[in-house]
Amino acid sequence: MEIIGVPSNGKGGLNEDMSLRFGRCSSFTFVSVDNNEISVVKTVMNHANQAMGGAGIQASQIVGTNNANVVIVGNLGPNAVQSLNSLNLKIVRAPNQQLTVKQAVDLYMEGKLHAITSSNVGSHFGMGGGQGMAGGRAMGGGMGRGRGRQF
């Protein structure tokens, strides 16, 4: 039996869209497959999706805690891939298009998804490519006048 972890949007489930963002997905859907038949579906909220940093590592821990031995991903950063590799999981990449969780699992069961062992996006990709919200060009917006007084 295989347990497949799939990053998902919303509350998760077979009919929910697969999230292309691993560490910043809303939830994970875990699908138990036995003889190419889905036997159990379980969803877990991704508490790491709002983390300031390390979301991919924390999300990997969720996948490992839920005993997945396969994970289907869209975009996967270097920290997340290192964490997943340390768990000895099989990592497969879904096409970069919108799929439901069930469609992604079906593609895996049909042998149409290929294993990956390295990241396919850079660090902090899910946060906007590491540029931050100001695109790396933040300027102070304070209204202080620099008139501090010593007493």
What does the pLDDT profile of the chain (151 residues) look like in tens digits? 999 999 999 999 999 999 999 999 999 999 999 999 999 999 999 998 888 888 899 999 999 999 999 999 998 889 899 999 999 999 999 998 899 999 999 999 999 999 998 886 655 554 444 333 333 333 444 545 555 555 4
Has domain 2-124 been given CATH number 3.30.420.130? yes
DSSP three-state, residue 65: helix
pLDDT at residue number 135: 37
pLDDT of residue 37: 95
Count helices and strands (H / E) in the chain.
3, 6
Closest by CA position to 26, among listed 12, 5, 15: 12
Of 1, 2, 3, 6, nearest to 102 by C-alpha is 6
Burial class (CB in 10 A: 0-12, 13-18, 19+), 52: exposed
